[in-house]
């Protein structure tokens, strides 16, 4: 069970769009729809923003969207706002009732 | 509204056993078919999944921790517990409990409600 691969950092100016990738394998992202994304602001617990790779929980702005292609999932944040500055983590079901996280990406709003 | 709160000793000596509790409020574990997970985050590092405990009591753990971890549900106390044996400095982390998101028929394998976390330091 290997961690999913995310870029350590991403950035964009207010109003722009930013994408964050999450690369796994045919045993996790490539095999299951159960890909999630979490936002974690400093000092806070993670908060779910995407589940089943493209669904948003109630209350999450539609500026956040997810997609999946092959073994890679992508989080897109459109219309960047200062409040979007945070760490973002992906996760995927990896079979046999196990879960794997990505290493996290720090998003900076310039 | 469902809320989770983790509690623990704060400081544990190497080789000892770590015991944490997650208290659920706002719903009764007895009445709901909820399933739960523990996740930890070492200082300045990313998230690491520890395990699942399903509402029926079945447990599944991260293979890297499997031999040292035990999760259980205390329905009468509305609590979920985590025990980690033979701790080392590498187990120093913030420990979170979370609910596993689900519909009435299947799990989303997302963690949709999180506690605030409790910090555990392993040091002599």
Q: Is B116 on the interface with A (CB under 8 A)?
A: yes
Residue pLDDT, tens place only, B78-112: 999 999 999 999 999 999 999 998 887 888 899 99
Residue B29 falls in which region: left (phi positive, over 0), alpha (psi -120 to 50) or beta: alpha
CA-to-CA distance for B50 and A73, rounded, in angstroms?
A: 22
In this complex, the residue of A44, A48, A98 whose CB is nearest that of residue B112 is A48
CA-to-CA distance for A91 and B80, rounded, in angstroms?
A: 22
CA-to-CA distance for B90 and B113, rounded, in angstroms?
A: 26
In this complex, the residue of B63, B110, B116 whose CB is nearest that of residue A1 is B63
**pLDDT score of B114 more than 80:** yes
* Chain B residue with minimum CA distance to A1: B63
Which residues of A are less than 8 Å from B49 in CB distance? 91, 98-101
Encoding tokens for residue A53? 């790779």
B49–chain A nearest CA distance, Å: 6
Mean pLDDT confidence for A84-93: 98
Which residues of A are less than 8 Å from B101 in CB distance? 48, 51
- C-alpha distance from residue A1 to each of A101, B70, B111 (Å): 10, 19, 19
User: Where do runs of H (alpha helix) occur along chain B?
Assistant: none
Which stretch of A65-69, B7-11, B27-31, B95-99 has the lowest confidence by average pLDDT?
Answer: B27-31
Q: List B81's β-bridge partners, or say none.
A: B21, B72
Encoding tokens for residue B11? 């400081």
Position B60 scores a pLDDT of 96
CA-to-CA distance for A66 and A94, rounded, in angstroms?
A: 18
Residue pLDDT, tens place only, B25-84: 998 887 767 899 999 999 999 999 999 999 888 999 999 998 999 999 999 999 999 999
A8–chain B nearest CA distance, Å: 11
B39–chain A nearest CA distance, Å: 10
Query: Using only C-alpha atoms, what is the Rg of chain A?
Result: 13
Q: Is B77 helix (H, G, I), strand (E, B) or coil?
A: helix
**Contact predicate A40/A88, CB 8 Å:** yes
Which stretch of A65-74, B34-43, B99-108, B114-123 has the lowest confidence by average pLDDT?
Answer: B99-108
- Residue B50 makes CB contacts below 8 A (sequence gap 6+) with B37, B38, B39, B40, B61, B62, B65, B69, B71, B82, B95
Inter-chain CB proximity A52 and B63 less than 8 Å: no
Candidates B109, B113, B115, B119, partner chain A, best to mutate (most A CBs within 10 A): B109
Inter-chain CB proximity B52 and A97 less than 8 Å: yes
Which residues of A are less than 8 Å from B108 in CB distance? 34, 36, 51-52
């Amino acid at each position: 069970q290997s961690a999913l691969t995310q870029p350590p950092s991403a950035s964009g100016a207010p109003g722009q769009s930013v994408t964050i990738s999450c690369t796994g394998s045919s045993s996790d992202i490539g095999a299951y729809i159960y890909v999630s994304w979490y936002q974690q602001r400093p000092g806070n617990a993670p908060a779910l923003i995407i589940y089943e790779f493209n669904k948003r929980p109630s209350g999450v702005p539609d500026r956040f969207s997810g997609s999946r292609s092959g073994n890679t999932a992508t989080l897109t944040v459109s219309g960047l706002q200062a409040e979007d500055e945070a760490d973002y983590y992906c996760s995927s079901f990896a079979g046999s009732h196990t879960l794997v996280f990505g290493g996290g990406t720090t998003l900076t709003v310039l | 509204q469902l809320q989770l709160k983790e509690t623990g000793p704060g400081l544990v000596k190497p080789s000892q056993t770590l015991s944490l509790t997650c208290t659920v409020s706002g719903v009764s574990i007895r009445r709901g078919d909820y399933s739960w997970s523990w996740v930890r985050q070492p200082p300045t590092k990313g998230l690491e999944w520890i395990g699942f405990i399903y509402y029926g009591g079945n447990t599944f753990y991260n293979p890297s921790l499997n031999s040292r971890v035990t999760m259980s549900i205390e329905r009468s106390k509305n609590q979920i517990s985590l025990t980690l044996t033979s701790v080392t400095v590498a187990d120093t982390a913030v420990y979170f409990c979370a609910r596993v998101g689900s519909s009435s028929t299947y799990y989303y394998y997302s963690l949709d409600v999180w506690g605030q976390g409790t910090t555990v330091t392993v040091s002599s």
